[in-house]
Structure 1
Amino acid sequence: MDGGNHVTDKADNLQSLAEALVSAARRAGADQADALAMRGHSVSIDVRAGGLEQADSAEGIEIGLRVLIGGRQACVSASDHSIRTIGEMAARAVAMAREAPVDDALGLAEPDQLGPLRDAAGLDIADDLPDPAPAALQDLALRAEAAALSRPGISQVEAANAAFSRRHLWLAASNGFSGGYGRTTHVISAVAITGEGLGMERDYAAEARVWAEDLPYPEEIGLLAADRTLARAGSRKPPTGAFPILFDRRVSASLIGHLLGAVNGAAVARGASWLRKALGEPVLPAGMDLIEDPLKPRYPSSRPFDAEGLQTRRRAIVKDGVLQGWTLDLATGRKLGMDSTASAARGLASAPSPTTSNVVLTPGAQSRDQIIADMGRGLVVTSMLGASINDTTGDYSRGAAGFWVENGQIAYPVNECTIAGNLRDMLMTLRAADDALPWRAAEVPSLLVEGMTVAGA
């Protein structure tokens, strides 16, 4: 380290910052330590009525430290990265850890558990083109807005946005791990409005990609927002009763999200999962797989290693409908007597916890329209709000809006209804369409659920 105020003469040297944090923690008395250093830059442009509405820009470096002492841990973070701050962080974290409760499952990976990858080479999760200028982002947003307004019946565009972010992280630990990678995100979105007063309806479209060249044209996004909004004109309540419900691909990933939450090792270890006794049992219909693949090039959640330095890998969470395993980090794995699935994620000021990256559900053989024709009478859900989910029993209730189906055809738009069921039962009746979209962290097609309760008019 130099004799000045920062760890090196380059304040943005993330590797040096992370490794300096670990060294400071060990000097302060930590048995083990790991540290994150992150550098980020983001720009977001909102336009309205053909002009700039709002511009946001952020840039900076942040650091986070976790220390472990005798089964106790503490996490601290800072946006300053001077030598003095690093020393103070280490001392504070060690003092906090000594007062924390003991958890014998805590601890870093053993050196032989660490993966060989130290960067994201081959994953293409950072666009190598120059960062877009604010004027270029504004042009994208204006084009999306103009396209939405070109549809007759659209009274205004509530917001059109284009945004970009680039961030880089470095993870270092006292077990010898040191690695990092960068990531970029490009986003275009639009929210359109039709009608006035009580008859006003709105809907949106948004797309995000790692690489700008993979984004749809902004005109496509604006037109889709407008078409979705116009389709909602004249919404009313549906009837009440038990009906089949088709979760449109816009919201179907939420169903799979509840399954992923229930097989998360943190929930299982607490006994707070409605699938806590389902390992090795059917949780989806036969023939349906749920695959996690953190190594898909250009995908939003891809990563070469997890937040504990373990190499990520493709795995089957559900195979042929049968639950294969939990999603685990080191601590939850130890509590359950299992190996980590290299699924740890963490923030600057938080300890690792399990999560998934890039999940894909087996698609079906029928189109969305064919499934609607077969369902006869029921509800297509395109948006949801609020939620009442019992983590222990799987009882499910949510507000919903979408379209009512009569005689196998969409009859009218609906809003202000509630749908309810039990997730264990719902998932076992799933019927998948063939319309899953790529580039999503969860590639899930439209999903038909039989016999849910609809509370409407």
Structure 2
Amino acid sequence: MTASTLASLTHQLLEAAQKAGADAADAMAVEGTALSIDVRKSRLEQAERSEGVEIGLRVLVGRRQAIVSASDLSERTIAAMAERSVAMARESPEDPTLGLADAGQLAQGWDLAALELCDSAPEPLPSDLESDARRAEAAALSVAGVTQIDSASASYSRRSVHLSATNGFSGGYERTSRSISAVAISGSGLGMERDWAAESRTFQSDLPDPEGIGRLAGERAVARSGARKPKTGAFPVIFDERVASSLVGHLLAAANGSAVVRGATWLRDALGAQVLPKGLSIVEDPARPRISASRPFDGEGLAPRRRAIVDDGVLTGWTLDLGTARKLGLASTASAVRGPGSSPSPGVTNIALTQGTKSRDALAADMGTGLLVTSMIGSSINPTTGDYSRGASGFWVEQGQIAYPVNECTLAGNLRDMLLRIVPANDARGHLSYVVPSLLVEGLMLAGE
């Protein structure tokens, strides 16, 4: 399906909505193709391909709204969607903050070529993906100490989006993704340990070799052999780059306009206050080329812009869509995210935390004795108080050196206190949408033996 066809579908939805009595409306059409291959024990285990188009319509009748979606593209379905959504909206509660963007707020003249969201290379053949998965599996199995491969996978996806609204906005874009992953197991019986490695890129030519991905998964699994519980007490903890973004994610969730409007955030009184050490900033940049979360406009047609959510350690603002911004008497940060069947809500795209000057190993040397966390499971985060408790595994560090692998332990602390004590390394990977390095946090409570 061409971009013009998706655009035509959204315009048909808008026309039907206005004919049915809507005062305003916006419509989204999404077409997606996904292909994934899994291999196990050198044999093809699963091959899956999905294709589909989904359309969604949001109508406004006064200050009331309703949203419907469908995968049937017939004129009859489009007319029924419009009539149903208008009827639903008339029965919905009023919300004075509902409404489309003003014409002057809308994104204009974006440069899709500069964003490089879509790879023009042909879709890979299933045999190409199977070959990648087999190569990753073989490389993982070649690592001494690996006893089996839980899974090795390769996938490809292409997604086209078009958004139109009765305020005059109309725009679309296409994005691609190519990925390879492997999960390796070392040991046997109760002594089994597993770990993984994965890579994903917008452009197929940027994807690392499958052998390197599989080998890394195997090496990580073997390094975890013989894991045991660590000591109990207050210790410094390094969150490895693989998991460090979760800490920043908790801060971003607390600064989300939806949480702020509800008052359900431990940052509710922190606007303009110190939330990170001085010298550290969190910058959102939705226009980074070849990054999976980049976009030319948000879910309401506004132009995203580069902004410092935290500047020199100080929280500068909330993440807002039009609705949450109106509730708080502020301006949208062009942060609306949505799907065909959902209303806009605030969300961040590409963020980067200021990197430090030392490697993760140098941070470990500074730490002396403590825990290096490489994997986390479960969570108990109180969104109102910031109390933090998560299961973790990784490596015990003594005298600045890794001593032995650990598992079955729990970390506990308070996010506001923890984030004020972080020390970043310099190992963040620039191709991710969350560019966050390993983080050292002093004085967490650790429950082990």
TM-score for the superposition, normalised by structure 1: 0.97
SS in 1 for 2:56: strand
**Preserved contact between residue 372 and residue 397 of structure 2 (Cα < 8 Å):** yes
Cα displacement (A) at 1:50? 1.0
The answer to whether structure 1 residue 315 and structure 2 residue 314 are counterparts is no
Residues 421-453 of structure 1 deviation map (CA, whole Å, 9 limit, x = unaligned): 000000000000000012111000000111010
The aligned counterpart of 1:409 is 401
The aligned counterpart of 1:329 is 321
Cα displacement (A) at 1:406? 1.0
The aligned counterpart of 1:294 is 286
How many residues are aligned here?
449
- In structure 2, give the amino acid aligned to 1:192: A
Cα displacement (A) at 1:117? 3.5
**Preserved contact between residue 76 and residue 89 of structure 1 (Cα < 8 Å):** yes
SS in 2 for 1:207: strand
The aligned counterpart of 1:418 is 410
The aligned counterpart of 2:168 is 176
The aligned counterpart of 1:259 is 251
2:128 to 124, 136, 142: 136
2:363 to 354, 366, 371: 371
1:122 to 103, 114, 121: 114
The aligned counterpart of 2:346 is 354
SS in 1 for 2:152: strand
The answer to whether structure 1 residue 428 and structure 2 residue 420 are counterparts is yes
Residues 241-279 of structure 1 deviation map (CA, whole Å, 9 limit, x = unaligned): 000010000000000000000110111011011101111
SS in 2 for 1:18: helix
- In structure 1, give the amino acid aligned to 2:113: A
The aligned counterpart of 1:438 is 430
Structure 1 pair 200/10, CA: closer, same or farther in 2 (3 Å)? closer
- In structure 2, give the amino acid aligned to 1:155: T
SS in 1 for 2:163: strand
Residues 321-358 of structure 1 deviation map (CA, whole Å, 9 limit, x = unaligned): 00111100000000111110000000111100001111
In the alignment, the residues of structure 2 paired with residue 335 and residue 222 of structure 1 have an alpha-carbon distance, to the nearest angstrom, of: 49
- In structure 1, give the amino acid aligned to 2:222: L
In the alignment, the residues of structure 2 paired with residue 387 and residue 70 of structure 1 have an alpha-carbon distance, to the nearest angstrom, of: 41
TM-score for the superposition, normalised by structure 2: 0.99
The answer to whether structure 1 residue 206 and structure 2 residue 206 are counterparts is no
Cα displacement (A) at 1:182? 0.1
Residues 202-250 of structure 1 deviation map (CA, whole Å, 9 limit, x = unaligned): 1100111100111111101000000100000000000100000100000
The answer to whether structure 1 residue 46 and structure 2 residue 45 are counterparts is no
- In structure 2, give the amino acid aligned to 1:70: G
Residues 78-134 of structure 1 deviation map (CA, whole Å, 9 limit, x = unaligned): 011100000001111111111111111111000111110366231001001111011
The answer to whether structure 1 residue 163 and structure 2 residue 149 are counterparts is no
The aligned counterpart of 1:216 is 208
**Preserved contact between residue 282 and residue 309 of structure 2 (Cα < 8 Å):** yes
**Preserved contact between residue 47 and residue 161 of structure 1 (Cα < 8 Å):** yes
**Preserved contact between residue 119 and residue 181 of structure 1 (Cα < 8 Å):** no
The aligned counterpart of 1:455 is 447
SS in 1 for 2:113: coil
In the alignment, the residues of structure 1 paired with residue 389 and residue 13 of structure 2 have an alpha-carbon distance, to the nearest angstrom, of: 46
SS in 2 for 1:121: helix
The answer to whether structure 1 residue 99 and structure 2 residue 91 are counterparts is yes
Structure 2: state its 5+ residue gaps: none
Q: CA RMSD in A?
A: 1.2
**Preserved contact between residue 289 and residue 320 of structure 1 (Cα < 8 Å):** yes
SS in 2 for 1:313: coil
In the alignment, the residues of structure 2 paired with residue 406 and residue 207 of structure 1 have an alpha-carbon distance, to the nearest angstrom, of: 31
The aligned counterpart of 2:26 is 34
- In structure 2, give the amino acid aligned to 1:153: G
SS in 2 for 1:303: coil
Residues 361-380 of structure 1 deviation map (CA, whole Å, 9 limit, x = unaligned): 00001110010011111111
In the alignment, the residues of structure 2 paired with residue 116 and residue 36 of structure 1 have an alpha-carbon distance, to the nearest angstrom, of: 18
In the alignment, the residues of structure 2 paired with residue 307 and residue 404 of structure 1 have an alpha-carbon distance, to the nearest angstrom, of: 44
The answer to whether structure 1 residue 392 and structure 2 residue 384 are counterparts is yes
Question: After the TM superposition, which residues 273-292 of structure 1 pair with which residues of structure 2 at under 5 Å, given as runs?
Answer: 273-292=265-284
Matched-pair identity in %: 62
In the alignment, the residues of structure 2 paired with residue 117 and residue 72 of structure 1 have an alpha-carbon distance, to the nearest angstrom, of: 31
**Preserved contact between residue 3 and residue 160 of structure 2 (Cα < 8 Å):** no
The aligned counterpart of 1:194 is 186
In the alignment, the residues of structure 2 paired with residue 69 and residue 243 of structure 1 have an alpha-carbon distance, to the nearest angstrom, of: 57
SS in 2 for 1:135: helix
Cα displacement (A) at 1:305? 0.3
SS in 1 for 2:241: coil
2:141 to 149, 155, 167: 149
In the alignment, the residues of structure 2 paired with residue 413 and residue 95 of structure 1 have an alpha-carbon distance, to the nearest angstrom, of: 60
Structure 1: state its 5+ residue gaps: 1-8
Structure 1 pair 345/11, CA: closer, same or farther in 2 (3 Å)? closer
The answer to whether structure 1 residue 76 and structure 2 residue 68 are counterparts is yes
